[in-house]
Amino acid sequence: MIRWLPFILVSLLWASLCLKDLLAHRYRRIWWWLGCWGLNALTWTPITITLGSSVGDISSFEWAGGTWVLIPLQRASIDLSFWANIVMTVPQGMLFQFNWSQSRWHRWLLAGLATGLTLETGQAIFNAGVHLGRWVDINDVLTNCLGVVIGAACMWELQRHFRWLK
């Protein structure tokens, strides 16, 4: 049960932020917080899913209760989970642009880096604190960032054609 504590506490935080924006009638922002919660559900729970078959071929080391991968783009690490990390953050990039429509590529990049670093830092901290059992992977930072940028670019393009999305 203790391994679920970080996710439960963060869920309470996201719920309170959703409630705050609901009361302030900022409905778009609620989708942003729900997206954050969804990413946390995928990354800060003690459930691990391995989508690759060559995990043993990835150069990694054990430290602070978790497996760390600090060498990016190793051949064995470019598997289905690599691409899934991009896909899972595309909606958050779309929500970022939807909420802050004046943003452009440099802010998309910063939002993507912040997303990837937050998710991986959370995994590192929770591995050390409650033995979450998740991998802390530089590839995840890169792919999460790329997903946010792709999602924001897609929403930006949609906003150009459909003014009601601004």
Residue 103 has pLDDT above 90, yes or no: no
Measured distance CA(161)–CA(76) in Å, rounded: 40
* Neighbouring C-beta atoms of residue 78, cutoff 10 Å: 14
pLDDT at 53 over 90: no
The candidate with the shortest Cα–Cα distance to 63, out of 141, 143, 127, is: 127
Nearest to 70 by CA among 6, 141, 132, 17: 141
Higher pLDDT, 54 or 103: 103
- Burial environment of residue 130 by CB neighbours within 10 A (0 to 12, 13 to 18, 19 or more): middle
**Res. 150: pLDDT tops 70:** yes
Q: Where are the beta strands (DSSP E) in the chain?
A: 61-63, 66-69, 135-137
| pLDDT interval class at 151 (50, 70, 90) | very high
pLDDT for 57 equals 83
Q: Is residue 117's pLDDT more than 90?
A: yes
pLDDT band at 111 (very low <50, low <70, confident <90, very high): very high
For 51-65, b/e burial (b = at least 16 CB within 10 A) is ebeeeeebebeeeeb
**What pLDDT, on a 0 to 100 scale, did the predictor assign at position 33?**
96
For residue 43, which amino acid is it? T
Distances (CA, A) of 127 to 43, 62, 70, 92: 11, 11, 16, 24
Beta-carbon count within 10 A of 141 CB? 21
Neighbours of 25 (CB within 10 A): 8
Average the pLDDT over 7-22 and give the result: 96
Closest listed residue to residue 151, CA positions, set 81, 100, 117: 100
Its pTM stands at 0.92
Nearest Cα residue to 111 out of 82, 78, 149, 80:
149
Q: Binning pLDDT at 50, 70 and 90, where does residue 52 land?
A: low
Tokens for 154, please give them.
């897609």
